[in-house]
């Protein structure tokens, strides 16, 4: 019998503040070598996705192991789906015991993804933004932009400026958090700026960068996507979640492919959190954290959901497979 956790159960189990704490711990455990994570595998969805949704899509298989559990997230990115009222991100997180190999849970994965993606932005800001940073700009107030804003608010940041090409998305997020709606340039001028667009065009411009800002770029999580003008990277001290993944399919992948940025130019967040690598070196720097989304972040959420279930805080139907 395997418990199946739907999105409501996942979100009832883990608050944005909880996610911030456990995702930070996941980065630290991974950096210490306690949690392991083989490379993420991309599977192109092929012409069917283009025909059905008008845009390419892909599947991602993301395995991780740590703390007695092994997880595999099978998740999509079908950006064209939003025009057809279908989810961009969908799939399941399989959770197995690393003691017996038995499958112990199945989790709805868009909720897991949103919680841990938003948390990565907040963890990066707490580690890399100057002490004085307060205000937030959210560029792209869709599914994951909402969770990034919630995570930053839970970490004590705000007020904020929410921007989206769909005005109603920015308005809904601003209303939820008591923040303002603004245009792209207004959002990009805030102390902490999180970008969560599909990554088709730059939304962070070199000429607009200001000393002391922290940028968390979340939207570019596959090759060919970027949210930051290439010239802006030279002004930033660069960080990523994992160089292997970020250089192949993140904000930095274009610059990495062009030989403009190499592993020596970019620090991973986990060692920074442990104090094993330098973070921000001065208040006048601009820091940029390239998040591509790590399987260990999903593993952290799985631990928290199972913990809440075992404590009786959430319920889930059991299925016999």
Ligand X SMILES: NC(=O)c1ccc[n+]([C@@H]2O[C@H](COP(=O)([O-])OP(=O)(O)OC[C@H]3O[C@@H](n4cnc5c(N)ncnc54)[C@H](O)[C@@H]3O)[C@@H](O)[C@H]2O)c1
DSSP state, residue 228? B
State which of residues 69, 139, 151, 272 lies at the interface with ligand X (CB under 6 A). 139
Sites for ligand X among residues 62-81 (CB under 6 A): 77
| Residue 165 binds to ligand X (criterion: CB under 6 A) | yes
Q: Which range, of 164-172, 206-214, 254-262, 303-311, touches ligand X by CB under 6 A?
A: 164-172
| Residue 184 binds to ligand X (criterion: CB under 6 A) | yes
| Residue 253 binds to ligand X (criterion: CB under 6 A) | no
Q: What is the DSSP string of 108-170?
A: EHHHHHHHHHHHHHHHHHHHHS-TT---EEEE--SHHHHHHHHHHHHTT---EEEE-SSHHHH
Q: Examine the residue annotation and report whether 73 is marked as an active-site residue of this protein.
A: yes
Q: How far is the CB of 82 from ligand X (least distance, A)?
A: 5
Contacts of residue 275, defined as CB under 8 A and 6 or more positions apart, other chains included, come to none
CA-CA distance, 111 to 283, in Å (whole number)? 35
User: 197 or 247, CB closer to ligand X?
Assistant: 197
Crossing angle, helix 143-154 and helix 16-31, to 10 degrees? 90
- In 262-283, which positions are buried (b, 16+ CB within 10 angstroms) versus exposed (e)? eeeebbbbbbbbeeeeebbeee
* Annotated catalytic residue within 73, 214, 237, 280: 73
Q: How far is the CB of 118 from ligand X (least distance, A)?
A: 9
Contacts of residue 109, defined as CB under 8 A and 6 or more positions apart, other chains included, come to 73, 74, 75, 89, 90, 91, 92, 93, 298
| Residue 49 binds to ligand X (criterion: CB under 6 A) | no
| Residue 164 binds to ligand X (criterion: CB under 6 A) | yes
| Residue 53 binds to ligand X (criterion: CB under 6 A) | no
Sites for ligand X among residues 198-237 (CB under 6 A): 198-199, 201, 203, 218-219, 221, 225
Nearest residue to ligand X on Cβ basis: 142
CA-CA distance, 148 to 266, in Å (whole number)? 22
Q: How far is the CB of 45 from ligand X (least distance, A)?
A: 13
Question: Which residues in this chain contact ligand X in the complex, by CB under 6 A?
Answer: 77, 82, 88-89, 113, 117, 139-145, 163-166, 169, 184, 196-199, 201, 203, 218-219, 221, 225, 291-293
């Amino acid at each position: 019998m395997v418990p199946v956790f739907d999105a409501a159960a996942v979100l009832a189990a883990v608050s944005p503040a909880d996610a911030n704490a456990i995702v930070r711990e996941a980065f630290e455990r991974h950096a210490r070598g306690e949690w392991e994570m083989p490379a993420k595998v991309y599977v192109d969805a092929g012409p069917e996705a283009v025909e059905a949704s008008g845009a390419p899509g892909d599947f991602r298989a993301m395995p991780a192991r740590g703390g007695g559990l092994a997880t595999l997230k099978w998740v999509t990115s079908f950006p064209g789906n939003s025009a057809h009222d279908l989810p961009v991100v969908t799939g399941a997180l399989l959770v197995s015991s690393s003691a017996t190999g038995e499958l112990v849970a199945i989790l709805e994965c868009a909720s897991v993804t949103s919680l841990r993606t938003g948390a990565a932005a907040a963890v990066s800001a707490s580690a890399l933004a100057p002490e004085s940073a307060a205000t937030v700009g959210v560029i792209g107030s869709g599914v994951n932009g909402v969770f990034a804003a919630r995570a930053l608010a839970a970490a004590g940041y705000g007020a904020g400026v929410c921007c989206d090409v769909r005005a109603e998305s920015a308005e809904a997020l601003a209303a939820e958090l008591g923040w303002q709606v603004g245009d792209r340039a207004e959002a990009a001028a805030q102390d902490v700026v999180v970008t969560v667009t599909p990554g088709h065009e730059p939304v962070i411009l070199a000429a607009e960068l200001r000393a002391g800002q922290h940028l968390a770029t979340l939207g570019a999580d596959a090759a060919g996507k970027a949210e930051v003008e290439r010239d802006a990277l030279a002004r930033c001290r660069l960080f990523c979640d994992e160089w292997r993944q970020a250089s192949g399919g993140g904000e930095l992948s274009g610059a990495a492919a062009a030989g403009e940025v190499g592993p020596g130019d970019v620090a991973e967040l986990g060692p920074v959190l442990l104090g094993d690598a330098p973070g921000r070196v001065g208040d006048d720097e601009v820091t940029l954290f390239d998040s591509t989304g790590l399987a260990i972040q999903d593993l952290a959420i799985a631990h928290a959901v199972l913990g809440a279930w075992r404590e009786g805080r959430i319920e889930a139907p059991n299925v016999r497979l």
